[in-house]
Amino acid sequence: MLTGRTALVVSSQCRSYTTKHGLRPIPILPDATLETFRKDAFEPATPALLPRQTFNQLPAVRRWFIPASNGNVALNRHYLARFGATIVPLEITNSDKFTRIEQSLSFFLECVNASSSTYDVRPSRYFNAYRPGARAVRRTAQSNTFFSAAALTPPTARVYLAQASINDLPRALRDDLPVPDLVLKSGKGDVYDSSIWIGQAPTYTPLHRDPNPNLFVQLAGTKVVRLFRPDAGRAIFAKVQEVIGGNASATMRGDEMMQGAEKKALESEVWDDDAASGRLGFEAELNKGDGLFIPKGWWHSIKGTGDGMTGSCAGQLVVSIEQANTVLIYAIALTPDS
């Protein structure tokens, strides 16, 4: 529960939006000044939304995304293709199968294009000719084909550019996501870590916690974040481990979060509307330019929603970007004062 100074902030200084399903809303700070952020969010270590569209002017918002003909948002492939040789980590999910690989940014852009094509495209070194509605299949040692026209069903494979270090990206892309002053000046000013995520909606990040405070910034589209205090998050994690008969560590998280029984149980416990955890949690919906502060140790799960491209950036302190078909997240981590 929010108590003492935090409760005063929520009731008298911060606005909030109404959540569904009994989850408590996260307060919105009255302004985006460093003083207010420190006093009402960073120092008391309580979740807070920055005023809506605080980060709308980040260059990546207008350079990485373009309007699509259907009214949604698309990746600016022409711009991003200039950096196609950059090697990035990718997560590939197909039904309940999950794998991680490293490939070029060009490969990822081809995946995004093929999964949203409505016409035949010329065969490439990445894909066979794509037919509308073809089923996406996993690459194997014998085949480099991700899409098969054999079955006229919607694509099932999801390719997610996940946890690519921002420091490993070309200078021009790094310049598109400058570190906000709130990240540089709130704590010691050290940039602890930075990462970027891009994927196709619907996207899903399972329940986890980070070792540093995060500022999550949405660059395009919509994401819903559910948060739980450290004690509540630990209780949810322990309950799930008991249910599935697991013994996973709450601090060392691996691929078990992304597939199998643990993924299903965690998602059900956090996102099912009738789950008991809903009485313990907080929720925020982020759109383009919105920013969310997540304190150190708070457990959170994130879903990308809607249609079109999505993107997010985050810093530990974390920032996020999202639009509705593809999700992009950029994270920066800073070392807290303590």
CA triplet 252, 223, 50: central angle to 5 degrees?
Answer: 95
| pLDDT, tens digit, 9 for 90 and up, residues 124-136 | 444 443 333 444 4
pLDDT at residue 116 tops 60 = yes
Spatial distance between the Cα atoms of 262 and 22, rounded to a whole number of angstroms:
25
Structure tokens at 206: 């399972």
Handedness of CA 307, 118, 108, 265 (dihedral sign): positive
The confidence score (pLDDT) of residue 123 equals 43
Total-model pTM: 0.77
pLDDT at residue 25 tops 90 = yes
Size (the chain), residues? 338
Sequence ranges of the chain with CATH classification 2.60.120: 4-60+161-334
Handedness of CA 195, 88, 302, 59 (dihedral sign): positive
Spatial distance between the Cα atoms of 110 and 99, rounded to a whole number of angstroms:
18
Q: Which residue has the higher pLDDT, 155 or 174?
A: 174
CATH of the domain spanning 4-60+161-334: 2.60.120
pLDDT at residue 47 tops 80 = yes
Q: Are 87 and 104 in contact (CB under 8 A)?
A: yes
Where in 21-141 does DSSP place strands (E)?
Answer: 24-25, 48-49, 65-67, 73-75, 87-94, 97-104, 134-136
pLDDT at residue 117 tops 70 = no
| pLDDT, tens digit, 9 for 90 and up, residues 257-298 | 788 888 899 999 999 877 776 678 999 999 989 999 999 999
Q: DSSP assignment of 155-210, as one string?
A: --EEEEEEEEEGGGS-HHHHHTSPPPHHHHHHSS--EEEEEEEEEESSEEEEEE--
| pLDDT, tens digit, 9 for 90 and up, residues 94-111 | 777 888 889 999 999 988
The whole-number average pLDDT for the span 22-31 is 92
Spatial distance between the Cα atoms of 336 and 44, rounded to a whole number of angstroms:
12
Spatial distance between the Cα atoms of 189 and 42, rounded to a whole number of angstroms:
13
Q: Residues 48-52: contacts with CB within 8 Å, 24+ apart?
A: 48/14, 48/292, 48/293, 49/16, 49/284, 49/286, 49/290, 49/291, 49/292, 49/293, 50/182, 50/290, 50/291, 50/292, 50/293, 52/28, 52/287, 52/289, 52/290
